């Protein structure tokens, strides 16, 4: 018979001392409602983090229009740098929730994003600001990307394993919407005098006034409000607490590194394309105002991510991931015929359509690989715990901690794609005048990942099966 574990405080208690999501009675009577509340506060906090993380993908395109004189390669670099600090930051962030609590860290990690927003707003209004300062601001904006690791780790503690694909897909997918929201909002707010004397505009040749500082300032009020909501509405889990020493052994697991490669190919592609697509489109098709369309790709990718989690819960993450990599490879090959060259003008609309497909598959693959990570690491941890004759409650708690640490660390590897892809575009253009070399590298990588998924996991589906589901 299942037990209901009473809380030492009422449901609104900030720290919950008992949490047993795998207990069906506990979940139906107490756990589900609390988990949903934490999830739906976590999502907008993560969405804002993605808005700040990818700010330079929209700001860099307009820097020269407000008085700066940066080269194309420098502008590509500014769009790529936030991924570096975001990826590095995800390593400590992946271990921090069990140390200080998900509620506390959500508030802290959201509030500190105000700093790069204010600095960027100041910098873009002073054309004498050096490129080095913009590099520093870009790296600080990148810290926002680290929030993904702690947010996903935190939500993974709240849900039973059979619902983690959906919950993590919603948190990650709707959080990823921040890229699209930012790229939709920024072109609108930079045309409006919203902040009085705080934001000054620059007259454009078209006769319009560009208030580029608004691109950063617009997020500050939301960051403050969401931090307050998280402080009063979220929970810390006593059962999720673990020391750094308890979490580090997960780094010795070989599957950590193979799954990291797969996540680099999926989420890394999503965030890399989000960062570099606007600049890439501007260089290849300068006659089209890409910022009018740029938000659509990240929007499709973000919405596809929860679908990847749901499909993986239904059909198995391994199967979904293999098919997804095949689709990514075919779409990448299709890009070759759309690009302008000395013999053809290229096709912007076909180029845009295929990239939308790449955004969709990278988002879907992010959801399916994340579901694989959660399921595989839970099973590995449970097998190790049972070999040590640990009781069921301790085994489940350890498996949750190991899974959360793995999810966070692997997400840090995936975020590197946000640096490599824009840099690959920039280097390919500067060396050859074309992005074909970069796209060929991506094609080979996606084919390799499809083979890796099949070789390591696809041949042994039953080894990674849950009760009625396959990872």
* Helix/strand/coil for 210: strand
Of the candidates 98, 152, 28, the one whose C-alpha atom is nearest the C-alpha of residue 414 is 152
Q: Which helix (H) or strand (E) holds 16?
A: strand 15-16
pLDDT at res. 174: 86
What is the token pair recorded at 97? 């929730």
User: At residue 390, what are phi and psi to the nearest 5 degrees?
Assistant: -75, 150
Residue 323 within a domain: yes
Chain segment 244-278, per-residue pLDDT in tens: 566 666 667 778 888 899 999 998 999 899 888 88
Report how far apart, in Å, the C-alpha atoms of 314 and of each of 8, 28, 307, 370, 379 are.
Answer: 36, 21, 10, 14, 18
Of the candidates 209, 162, 165, 207, the one whose C-alpha atom is nearest the C-alpha of residue 23 is 162
What is the rounded CA–CA span in Å between residue 274 and residue 296?
10
* Helix/strand/coil for 236: strand
Q: Any idea which residue has 């990826």 for tokens?
A: 87
Residue 180 within a domain: yes
Residue 471 within a domain: no
CATH number of the domain that residue 200 is part of: 1.20.1250.20
**Residues 184/359/81/53 CA torsion (nearest 10 deg):** 40
What is the token pair recorded at 233? 């509405």
Residue 11 within a domain: no
Q: Is 233 exposed, middle or buried (0-12, 13-18, 19+ CB in 10 A)?
A: middle
Count of domains for the chain? 1
Answer yes or no: are the C-beta atoms of 418 and 301 closer than 8 Å.
no
pLDDT at res. 255: 80
Residue 5 within a domain: no
CA 52 and chain centroid, separation: 12
Render the burial of 341-379: b for 16+ CB within 10 Å, e for the rest.
eeeeeeebeebbebbbbbbbbbbbbbbbbbbbbbbbbbb
Answer yes or no: are the C-beta atoms of 244 and 251 closer than 8 Å.
no
pLDDT at res. 13: 65
Q: Which residues pair with 15 in a beta bridge?
A: 236
Strand 209-210 versus strand 236-237 pairing type = unpaired
Round the CA-based radius of gyration of the chain to a whole number and report it: 22
Which residues, in sequence order, are CB contacts of 111 under 8 Å at separation 6+?
A: 223, 224, 227
Render the burial of 380-397: b for 16+ CB within 10 Å, e for the rest.
bbbebbeeeeeeeeebbb
Residue 45 within a domain: yes
Residue 74 within a domain: yes
Answer yes or no: are the C-beta atoms of 318 and 372 closer than 8 Å.
yes
Structural domain that includes position 246: 16-464
H-helix segments, 285-347? 296-315, 317-335
CA 341 and chain centroid, separation: 33
The per-residue DSSP string of 359-413 comes to HHHHHHHHHHHHHHHHHHHHHHHHHHHHHTT--HHHHHHHHHHHHHHHHHHHHHH
CA 283 and chain centroid, separation: 26
pLDDT at res. 250: 65
Which DSSP state fits 457? T
Residue 412 within a domain: yes
What is the rounded CA–CA span in Å between residue 186 and residue 295?
10
Chain segment 324-364, per-residue pLDDT in tens: 999 999 999 999 999 887 778 889 999 999 999 999 999 99
Output the CA torsion sign for 227, 233, 234, 236: positive
Chain segment 96-127, per-residue pLDDT in tens: 888 888 999 999 999 999 999 999 999 999 99
Answer left, alpha or beta for residue 231, where phi above 0 means left and psi between -120 and 50 means alpha. Answer: alpha
What is the token pair recorded at 331? 């779409």
Q: What is the pLDDT along the chain (471 residues), one digit of tens a residue?
A: 444 444 444 444 688 888 888 888 989 888 899 999 999 999 999 999 999 999 998 899 889 988 899 988 899 899 889 989 998 898 888 778 888 889 999 999 999 999 999 999 999 999 999 999 999 999 999 999 999 888 988 888 898 877 876 787 788 778 888 988 998 999 899 888 777 667 777 767 777 788 999 999 999 999 999 999 999 999 998 866 655 566 666 667 778 888 899 999 998 999 899 888 888 888 888 888 877 788 889 889 988 888 888 888 888 888 999 999 999 999 999 999 998 877 788 899 999 999 999 999 999 998 888 778 777 777 776 777 667 666 666 666 666 667 667 776 787 788 888 888 988 998 898 888 888 999 999 999 999 999 999 998 887 655 555 333 333
């Amino acid at each position: 018979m299942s037990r209901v574990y009473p809380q030492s405080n009422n449901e609104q208690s900030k720290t919950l001392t008992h949490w047993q999501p795998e207990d069906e009675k506990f979940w139906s009577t107490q756990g589900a409602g609390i988990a949903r509340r934490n999830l739906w506060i976590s999502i907008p906090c993560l969405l804002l983090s993605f808005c700040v993380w990818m700010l330079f993908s929209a700001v860099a395109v307009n820097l020269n229009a407000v008085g700066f004189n940066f080269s194309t390669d420098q502008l590509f670099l500014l769009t790529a740098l936030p991924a570096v600090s975001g990826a590095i930051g995800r390593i400590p962030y992946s271990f921090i929730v069990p140390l200080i609590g998900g509620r506390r860290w959500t508030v802290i990690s959201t509030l500190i994003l105000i700093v790069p927003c204010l600095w960027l707003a100041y910098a873009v209004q002073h054309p004498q600001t050096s490129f080095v300062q913009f590099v520093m601001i870009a790296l600080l904006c990148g810290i926002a990307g680290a929030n993904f690791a702690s947010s996903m780790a935190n939500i993974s503690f709240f849900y039973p394993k059979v619902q983690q694909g959906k919950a993590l897909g919603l948190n990650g997918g709707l959080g990823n919407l921040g890229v699209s929201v930012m790229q939709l909002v920024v072109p609108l707010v930079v045309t409006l005098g919203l902040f009085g004397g705080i934001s000054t505009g620059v007259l454009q040749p078209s006769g319009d006034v560009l208030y580029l500082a608004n691109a950063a300032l617009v997020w500050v009020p939301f960051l403050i409000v969401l931090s307050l909501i998280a402080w009063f509405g979220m929970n810390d889990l006593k059962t999720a607490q673990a020391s750094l020493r308890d979490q580090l052994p997960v780094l010795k697991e070989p599957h950590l590194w193979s799954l990291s490669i797969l996540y680099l190919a999926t989420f890394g592609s999503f965030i890399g394309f989000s960062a570099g697509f606007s600049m890439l489109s501007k260089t290849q098709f300068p006659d089209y105002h890409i910022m009018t369309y740029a938000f659509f790709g990240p929007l499709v990718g973000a919405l596809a991510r929860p679908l990847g989690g749901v499909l993986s819960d239904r059909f198995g993450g391994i199967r979904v991931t293999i098919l997804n990599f095949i689709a990514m490879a075919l779409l990448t090959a299709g890009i070759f015929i759309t690009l302008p060259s000395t013999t053809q003008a290229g096709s912007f609309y076909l180029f845009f359509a295929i990239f939308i497909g790449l955004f969709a598959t990278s988002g879907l693959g992010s959801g399916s690989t994340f579901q694989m990570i959660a399921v595989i690491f839970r099973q590995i941890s449970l097998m190790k715990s049972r070999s040590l004759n640990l009781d069921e409650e301790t085994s489940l708690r350890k498996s949750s901690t190991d899974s959360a640490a793995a999810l966070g660390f692997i997400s840090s590897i995936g975020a590197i794609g946000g640096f490599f892809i824009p840099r690959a575009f920039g280097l390919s253009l500067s060396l050859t005048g074309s992005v074909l070399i970069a796209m060929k590298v991506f094609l080979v990588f996606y084919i390799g990942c499809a083979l890796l998924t099949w070789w390591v996991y696809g041949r042994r589906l039953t080894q990674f099966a849950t009760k009625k589901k396959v990872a």
